[in-house]
Amino acid sequence: MGFTIICLQDVHWTRDSDHIYYSEWGSDLFFSPFSSNARGVAILIDKKCVAKVLQVIYGQDGNYIILVIDIKGFTFNLVNIYGPNSDSSGFYDNVFSESFGIDCDFNIFCGDWNLVQNFVLDCDSYENVNNPNAQKKLIDLKQESHLVDPWRTLYPQTHQFTWRRRTPFRQARLDFFLVSENLLSFITDSNILPGYRTDHSIVVLDISVYNIKHGKGYWKFNNALLQNNDYINLINTTIDQCVLQYVATPYNRDSVLTIPRGDLHFIIDADLFWETLLLMIRGETIKFSCKMKNENASRERENIVI
């Protein structure tokens, strides 16, 4: 049975009204407040969740909260962030230092970071770079900590945004997840969905926690798909996209696919490239299998004679 954990940012909650939030949610709720008109982050866990909360760390000024939870004997370090707009690199130093001081199996960072990871892919109609010092620090920490963005891994060249302003018009992907590399093989999907009464979108991350096993995880592949030419073409295209996304910059991108794969060098290490490629193939395989299933069901309905 699945369950949901919700991370909220900029909630404007106060301790004086905490009984209202607990009553309305009706399940476990943890929040780090600031004031009734600024900041604040919260984590809501639904009743179906089998997680056991081991530790809660409340950040300063309502900018982050860390929840250490146990699920099926695995420890997850969940960090919900509302990034400051002060372009402070020190904030991320502090958060990452505190987070990685906790012994766990998997790290999951999420939130409204108030910055983008890639100025080309993640911004639209921006005249100036937003919080450049904080952005550089986050990218450095992300690489040092072996974290990956699962949504960007699944959609390496997609322009889709999570925040927008009408006047003057601009939009950006300010909201995203960063997760441990070793969690990638258990992620089934990630999506950006419309928000309600907010200028931010909802970012969803689907993790198959019940498939996580002690030791190296594995993915059971349906070999019958290898007889389907459409699927083979799809996966070949997916591999090419992954190569183009992570190949080192000195190569001519127009001819890079003609170079033997064994001669290529990438901007990420071999293990991370392999995990990333598997995640992309897995995502495309799931979508393809669902499409086939729906098409087969439709044909069966059409063949029914009444």
Kindly name the residue from 21, 87, 200, 251 that is annotated as catalytic: 200
Spatial distance between the Cα atoms of 210 and 241, rounded to a whole number of angstroms: 30
Task: Identify the H or E element spanning 187.
Answer: strand 187-193
Angle at CA 192, nearest 5°, toward 187 and 194?
145
The single residue of 82, 92, 231, 246 carrying the catalytic annotation is: 82
12 catalytically annotated: no
From first to last of its 306 residues, the chain has per-residue pLDDT tens of 678 999 999 998 888 877 788 888 888 999 998 887 888 999 999 988 888 899 999 998 899 999 999 998 899 999 999 999 888 889 999 999 999 888 899 999 999 999 999 988 999 988 777 889 999 999 999 988 989 999 998 998 899 999 998 888 889 999 999 999 889 888 989 999 999 889 999 999 999 887 777 655 455 577 778 889 999 999 999 998 888 878 876 766 677 788 887 778 887 777 778 878 887 888 788 778 878 877 776 765 665 544
Residue 92: active-site member = no
- Which of these is catalytic: 112, 122, 149, 175? 112
- Catalytic residue status for 112: yes
Q: Which residues are annotated as a binding site for Mg(2+)?
A: 112, 114, 199-200
- Distance CA(163)–CA(27), nearest Å, equals 29
Question: Which residues contribute to the annotated binding site?
Answer: 112, 114, 199-200
| φ, ψ of residue 278 in degrees (nearest 5) | -60, -40
Query: Cα 292 to the chain's mean position, in Å?
Result: 27
Q: Hey, CA dihedral for 80, 175, 74, 42, is it positive or negative?
A: positive
β-strand 41-45 against 28-32: which pairing, if any? Answer: antiparallel
C-alpha torsion sign, points 189, 192, 193, 196: positive
